[in-house]
Amino acid sequence: MSSRAATLEAIRKNRPSGEYALPEVPVFAPLVGEDLVAEFGERLKRMGGRIAEPGSADPFEAVRERLKASKIVASAVPEIEGNRDLSQVAQPQDLADVDVAVVRAVFGVAETGSVLFTQDELRVNAVAYLAQHLIVLLDPADILVNIQAAYRRPEFGRAAYAVLHTGPSATADIEGVLIHGAQGVRSLTVLLMPRGAH
Amino acid sequence: MSADDLNLRSGASNRDGLIHPEVAKANDESERGQDGQRLTHAEGASRPISAAPKAAREPQPRGAKIRGDRPIDQAEAAERFLAAPLHQKAHDERLWDVRKKRDVATHGIPEWEELRELASAIKAHTLSRLDEYLEQFEAQAKANGVHVHWAADGAEHNRLVHRLLKDHGARSLIKSKSMLTEECGFRHYMAGTGIEVIETDLGERIQQLDDEEPSHVVMPAVHKTRLDVAEVFAKTMGTDPENDDAHYLAESQRMHTRPLILEADAGLTGCNFAVAETGTVVTCTNEGNADLSGNVPRLQIHSIGIEKLIPRTEHLGVFIRLLSRSALGSPITQYTSHFRKPRPGTEMHMVLVDNGRSERLGMEEFWTSLKCIRCGACMNTCPVYRRSGGLSYGATYSGPIGLIIDPTFNKRKYSTLPFSSTMNGSCTNVCPVKINIHEQIFAWRKVLAEEHQIPLLKQGMMKAAGQVLSRPAAYRAAIGAADSALRHLPRFAVYNPLNTWGKGREMPETPRQSFHAWYRQNRMGKGTGQ
Amino acid sequence: MRVGLFVPCYVDAFEPEVGIATLELLERLGLDVEYPFDQTCCGQPMTNTGCHAEAAATEALFVKNFTGFDYIVAPSGSCVHQVREHLTAIPQTPEVKAVRERTFELVEFLHDVLKVEEFPWAAFPHKVGYHSNCNALRGIGHARPSELNRPFFSKPLDLLAKVKGIELVEIARPDECCGFGGTFSVFEPAVSAKMGYDKVADHARAGADYVVSADSSCLMHQKGCAERLGVPLKFIHIARILNGAAA
């Protein structure tokens, strides 16, 4: 008997007695206030992320210093041109030297300060982890109230890869000392930039 | 007046909740946020805790002695952990801090107890139809272009993954933390194959480099001090042995591991949730290392315990809200990743592993332990775990959940573990899927006693106690016969010929007379009292 | 109302004054209390060690002693939890079930059944730290455990609030087990004692003069730990305070 058949047979033989109905999950009231942008920003900051409004003269004003100090910028958005073309990357390893990656989030989640990406926004998934710093463009209109609302979105059933980022890579495996940039990005900055505005 | 009216001294908040003031660290190295506030997300401590000044170097206590199938002596290993007070205090304080962060996070959600009920019911339902959900998951995954494999046990999982690696000519594998692969002994198996396995979670990497098992399901190296880590890294990565700065150590590891990640031919992750309707594997990490393992190498493998299934994506809206809050007091992990289809030009494999789970499903009193989502909340709250260290259990799963899972893997070897508990029930109350952990500990004791898996001495003492306590005359004789008997604690009271009570505690004073004697003397108008 | 007094073996042997206080208190409240003379133990030491067969005769004796009472009252949450939840080694006859259902711990009996409004004879002008026995707290529901997101309540603190002059102090880890754990205290003595040390240190640091509990077993263990450490804490059962003990 194959292991598949053996496992399924054992499960059927050992099925717990009794009926265990699948409960309906009620829609819970949002944990956050009405100003979703403010709530999102507060929570993102608590999770180690940064948040900024676009500057009036320079939309990227808040991260301009970071960009200036970077040798390699990989951009997946039309709002800014980088110097590493993600569509020309043959393999993820080619992104090892990226200083800053700029990507747009599908949506944000106010309850947690999270942003969602799929393979379409990232172009090359690994860029969101191999880059030293991540800059995320988020349309304030794309902020959902909570995680429950997020999981009603169709992306999770469609995307090959979908990921919620909440702040940067973090660890506190050594005596509880919180350190950003454990293996992935050292910082994550969200710029509240409407789609197609710049 | 009610309890709310009592004027409680506000001392506890002033004392910052510390009960080991000696582990309060003077300087604060944790990251600050955008507004300069101190951050405590992920597994960050809510205040600086440190084991030791350098001067007070204390060797790390090691775990339980493993001697084949012989019963683990958890008490012995725990005693050695307690004999290293710097480690023990920091460990206790650190995990209690996480428990408190959990309380704050969960008390902020009005529907918290309802979410636990829902999660528990969703898991019960899924487990009751696990065969159907597995078949649905498999069909979806295959339709997504994923190769699906089934492993009856840990050995088959290891052979299967090994063959996959060999077939792809892989020389190295990066992996994220997976308790399932720990359970399968995967790293030990791979050690003989010539294929290098690299753990990419910092805590897990520390443990791998120190050739030690993880001591906690979420914080694998929580029993180690920074000095221990500095020593391990100095030996294995050539860092400065005198530099125990946590940032230096973490950064050194990052720099050391990054090339290994880039060169790896394959990546492997565990699985927090497997969604049947979409064939999705969900991982929750703080470091982003599961995403590196899944998105950098050309061959991508996900090892999945068959109990990880949940029916639909919408159910993640329940479990994701519970997991990190229970585990760390953080609203969500930094990364919640959903792997569904292979990247263009790469291969994605999923291995569904049974390894005793289908058998456990048939254990009437214990099947609900399969609901566990490995958050570690029961460990953090367990007063015995915090004072013993996870390695004292000598098993993949330590702490309360370990006590009820481990005997299903090896009844003799882990026969002692259900006794390493006071059955205080805190574990049950923090469990996000409402496993009645302490009641299962109680039930396991009965099973083990009935199957003669408890020491003869212990069972003999209980038999003797039962005989004395069921016969009033014998009982009276035992406590009333002589003052000297009382002075040495009557056997009925401690059931222990070795007098272990007195090792750490003073004996109770012997009253002049028992209640029974007092009653006879004062209320029955006869007798003299003994 | 026929009330049977159950004096657990620890209380009988080591803290007879707790049994006396319980008896006197119930009598002060106008109850006619009987003490079945052939009582011994509830069977907990055996069942908690997994040895149910070995507990059967003791459980049968318990039921024999306490059959026929409207209420069975004991000054121990731990023993009452055993009777209510785990007295299952003998066939569950209607007689056995009745005894199990009618067994109450003293605090809940005063709070829920008698609904006592005042203890005019009770005054205890001291700083007190309250210790919840785990079975009393999480097993029979003395109070809202800190783990749960439910409204706060505490039956023992409600009762203590009716005692003149008492001042409660808050400890850092209010619901943490003190490490007694029945036979755990002798089979895993090192961890048990360490938990006790931490518990009494917590009380001492909070400024308590007395530790109060509804369970003598926890108090005996903590007292032994405090004496070993040289921590100058005193320990007293809640029955004695409610019965008007001065100190």
Domain boundaries, chain A: 32-192
| Residue B120: both structure tokens together | 């528990």
- Rg over alpha carbons for chain C, rounded to the nearest Å, is 17
**What SS3 class is residue B348?**
strand
Instruction: Tell me the backbone φ, ψ of residue A168, rounded to 5 degrees.
Output: -85, 175
Buried b (16+ CB within 10 A) or exposed e, B173-203: bbbbbbbbbbbbbbbebbeeeebbbbbbbbb
Nearest-CA distance B334 → chain A (Å): 5
Record: contact C187-B500, CB cut-off 8 A:
yes
Q: Residue B433: helix, strand or coil by DSSP?
A: coil
Q: Across the interface, which of C60, C147, C153 has its CB nearest the CB of B429?
A: C147
Out of A7, A20, A126, name the one closest to residue B296 (CB): A126
CA-derived radius of gyration, chain B: 26
Nearest-by-CA chain C residue for B101: C147
Inter-chain contact C13–B424, Cβ cutoff 8 Å? no
Is position B43 within any domain? Answer: no
The CA R_g of chain A, rounded to the nearest whole Å, is 20
Structure tokens of B166? 């060999």
The neighbours of chain B, by the rule of 3 or more Cβ pairs under 8 Å, are A, C
Residues in chain A: 198
Does B212 lie in the same domain as B297?
A: yes
| ipTM at complex level | 0.98
**A51 and chain B: CB distance < 8 Å anywhere?**
yes
Summarize pLDDT for B236-247 with one digit per residue, the tens. 999 999 999 999
Cβ distance of C184 and B458 shorter than 8 Å: no
Which domain, by its residues, includes B468?
A: 456-523
Q: What is the DSSP string of chain C?
A: --EEE---HHHHHH-HHHHHHHHHHHHHTT--EE--TT----SHHHHHTT--GGGHHHHHHHHHHHTT-SEEEES-HHHHHIIIII--SS---HHHHHHHHTEEEHHHIIIIIS-----TT-B--SEEEEE--HIIIIIS-SB--TTS-S---BHHHHHHTTSBT-EEE--SSTT---S-TTTHHHHSHHHHHHHHHHHHHHHHHTT-SEEEES-HHHHHHHHHHHHHHT---EEEEHHHHHTT---
For chain C, the chains sharing at least 3 beta-carbon pairs closer than 8 angstroms are B
**Yes or no, beta carbons of A166 and B258 under 8 Å apart:** no
The total of structural domains in chain B comes to 3
Question: What pLDDT is stored for residue B484 in this prediction?
Answer: 40
CB-based contact B515 C154, cutoff 8 Å: no
Burial of C138 (0-12, 13-18, 19+ CB in 10 A): buried
- B357 in helix, strand or coil? helix
Q: Residue B16: what pLDDT? A: 60
User: How many whole angstroms separate alpha carbon C73 and alpha carbon C242?
Assistant: 15
Q: Does B484 touch chain A (CB under 8 A)?
A: no
Is residue A31 less than 8 Å (CB to CB) from chain B? yes
Any chain A CB within 8 A of the CB of B293? no
**Backbone dihedral angles phi then psi of residue B305, each to the nearest 5 degrees:** -70, 140
**Which of A23, A150, A183 lies nearest to residue B122, judging by beta carbons?**
A23
Per-residue pLDDT at B207 exceeds 70: yes
Compute CA distances C105 → C9, C36, C140, C210, whole Å.
15, 17, 9, 22
Per the CB < 8 A criterion, the answer to whether A130 and A96 are in contact is yes
Q: Do C191 and B423 touch (CB under 8 A)?
A: no
Tens of pLDDT, residue by residue over B5-31, are 444 444 444 446 678 888 888 889 999
- One domain for residues B384 and B342: no
What percent of chain A lies above the pLDDT cut of 90? 96
Question: CA–CA distance from A196 to each of A78, A138, A193, B309 (Å)?
Answer: 9, 11, 9, 40
Residue B526: C-alpha distances to residues B490, B519, B520, C40 (Å): 25, 10, 6, 20
Rounded Cα distance between B353 and B358, Å, is: 10
Q: Indicate whether B338 belongs to any domain.
A: yes
Domains of chain C: 3-113 (no CATH), 127-242 (3.40.50)
Residue with token string 């067969």: C53
Average pLDDT over chain B, rounded to an integer? 91
B345 against B25, higher pLDDT:
B345
Residues 85-104 of A with CB under 8 A from B: 91-93, 96
Q: With a cut of 90, say whether residue B232 has pLDDT above it.
A: yes
* Interface residue B272 vs chain A (CB under 8 A): no
Please indicate, yes or no, whether residues B394 and B327 belong to a single structural domain of this protein: no
Tokens of A148: 């429950």
Residue of A51, A171, A176 lying closest to B286 (CB–CB): A171
Say if residue B496 is in the same domain as residue B511. yes
Question: Rounded distance, CA B217 to CA B301, Å?
Answer: 20
Residues B208 and B176 reside in one and the same domain = yes
Q: Are residues B408 and B334 in the same domain?
A: no
Q: Which of B118, B177, B186, B116 is nearest to B157 (CA)?
A: B186
A163: nearest Cα among A191, A194, A184: A184
* Residue A136 reports pLDDT greater than 70: yes
Could you give the count of Cα atoms lying within 13 Å of C3 in the half-sphere of its Cβ?
A: 23
Q: Does residue B430 sit within a domain?
A: yes
**Whether B508 contacts chain C with CB within 8 A:** yes
Residues B88 and B143 in one domain: no
Q: Out of C13, C196, C207, whose CB is closest to B493? A: C13
Task: Verify whether the Cβ–Cβ distance B505 to C228 is below 8 Å.
Answer: yes
Residue C133 C-alpha, separation from nearest chain B C-alpha, in angstroms = 8
Same domain, yes or no: B160 and B239: yes
Q: Given strand C167-169, what is the order of strands in its sheet?
A: C167-169, C127-131, C210-213, C234-237
Using a CB-CB cut-off of 8 Å, the residues of chain B touching C134 are 422-426
- Kind and range of the H or E element at A52? strand A50-52
Q: Which of residues 29-88 of B touch C (CB under 8 A)?
A: 74-75, 78-79, 82, 88
C-chain residue closest to B523, CA distance: C35
Residues of A in contact with B321 (CB under 8 A): 147-148
Task: Return d(Cα B281, Cα B297) in angstroms, integer.
Answer: 17
> Average of pLDDT values for B459-484?
79
Q: Do A183 and B220 touch (CB under 8 A)?
A: no
Please tell me which chains touch A, using 3 or more CB pairs under 8 Å as the contact test.
Answer: B
Nearest CA in chain C to B444: C50
Q: Give dist(CA C6, CA C19) in Å, integer.
A: 8
CA pair distance B284, B328, nearest whole angstrom:
12
Whether B362 is in a domain gets the answer no
Q: Residue B504: what residue type?
A: G
Q: What architecture is the A32-192 domain classified under in CATH?
A: 3-Layer(aba) Sandwich (3.40)
Q: Would you say residue B312 lies in a domain? A: yes
B480 pLDDT higher than 70: no
Mutate to test the interface with B, among A28, A112, A175 (most CBs of B within 10 A): A175
Q: Which residues of C touch B428 (CB under 8 A)?
A: 138
* Residue B42 to residue A43, Cβ atoms within 8 A: no
Return the DSSP state at B230. Answer: H
Task: Judge whether B209 lies within some domain.
Answer: yes
Interface of B with C in 86-145 (CB under 8 A): 88, 92, 96, 103, 106-107, 109-110, 112-113
Whether residues B292 and A173 touch (CB distance < 8 A) is answered with: no
Say yes or no: B143 and B228 in one domain: yes
Q: What is the CATH number of the domain that holds B151?
A: 3.40.50.10420
Domain boundary among B355, B390, B411: B355
Residue identified by tokens 């200036």 is A68
Separation of CA C157 from chain center: 14
For residues B249 and B229, the answer to whether their CB atoms sit within 8 Å is yes
d(CA B272, CA A161): 16
Q: Can you tell me the mean pLDDT for B253-266?
A: 97
Q: What angle in degrees, to the nearest 10, is found between the helix axes of B472-480 and B456-469?
A: 110
Of B410, B437, B454, which residue is a domain's last? B454
Last residue of a domain, one of B395, B427, B454: B454
Per-residue pLDDT of chain C (247 residues; tens, 9 = 90+): 999 999 998 899 889 999 999 999 999 999 999 999 999 999 999 999 999 999 999 999 999 999 999 999 999 999 999 999 999 999 999 999 999 999 999 999 999 999 999 999 999 999 999 999 999 999 999 999 999 999 999 999 999 999 999 999 999 999 999 999 988 988 899 999 999 999 999 999 999 999 999 999 999 999 999 999 999 999 999 999 999 998 6
CB contact under 8 A, C184 and B419: yes
Confidence of residue A38 (pLDDT cuts 50, 70, 90): very high
CA distance B375 to A72: 38
Average pLDDT of chain A is 96
**Using CB atoms, which residue from B490, B505, B507 is nearest to C196?**
B505
B1 touches chain C (CB under 8 A): yes
Whether residue B528 is predicted with pLDDT greater than 50 in this model: the reply is no
Contacts of A133 in chain B (CB under 8 A): none
Domain assignment present for residue B13? The answer is: no
| Token digits of residue B20 | 């080991």
CB within 8 Å: C192 and B19:
no
